[in-house]
Amino acid sequence: MSSIRVLLVDSERLVAEGFQKLLEGFSEFSVVSVAPDGLSALKEVRRERPHLVVMGLCPAGSDSAQVARAIRRDFQHVRIVVLATNQQPVYMREAFAAGANAYLSRNIGADELRDTLLTVHREGAALSTVAAGQMLEMLSGRPTNGGSPLSLLTERERQILSLVADEQATHRIAKRLGISPKTVRNYLSRIYAKLGTQNRVQTALYAKRSLNRRPEPVAEL
């Protein structure tokens, strides 16, 4: 039986090397490449034709859902497994909606990771009890947090909202996330639309209340 070809995607080199050594310790897997970011991942998927893409942390300027969506769009046969630090339901739903076949904790044990990857390769998906519940609720259209507008935000939009709550100016948000100020403003426009706010001040106050931050006046850009 030929090995299952795996592409690792992680911006943290030491972590990626650790997962590579772990997977190569199992006879079923062959790590064909390690990509540090989403663009490199797409190039490596095209070149190496992996069976599985195991995706960890992505660098500033992208997120796992964006990369998964791009891979799913161009390479429908590839199975995508997300290894995430955040196990909140909204992140799980976003990953599955983007095309992920499994959503796992970054602290998963070696044997469990092996079993899950084998299941994803053979059956197309592997769901923990928590993830299964999120999938059912996503398919039924029932948000798990009671319909809060925050559930409509993408991972990147939530990052920006949190920085807005911390009173970070647009240029500082751009520098921190590795994107342009114009891109930040575009994200803010989408955040306003999703939250039903009209400007930076309203959005900052909403974020402080929702994220349990101390409400203080925020200067509008």
pLDDT in tens, 162-215: 999 888 889 999 999 999 898 898 888 888 878 878 778 888 888 887 776 544
Split at pLDDT 50, 70, 90, the class of 43 is very high
Query: Across all residues in the chain, what is the average pLDDT?
Result: 81
Residue 22, pLDDT > 90, answer yes
- Tens of pLDDT, residue by residue over 141-150, are 555 544 567 7
Q: How far apart are CA 80 and CA 51, in angstroms?
A: 9
Q: How far, CA to CA in Å, does 188 sit from each of 92, 110, 155, 219?
A: 23, 40, 13, 15
Q: Where are the domains of the chain?
A: 4-140, 149-210
Pick the CATH number of 4-140 from 3.40.50.2300, 1.10.3720.10, 2.40.30.10, 3.30.429.10: 3.40.50.2300
Split at pLDDT 50, 70, 90, the class of 23 is very high
Q: What kind of architecture, by CATH, is found in domain 149-210?
A: Orthogonal Bundle (1.10)
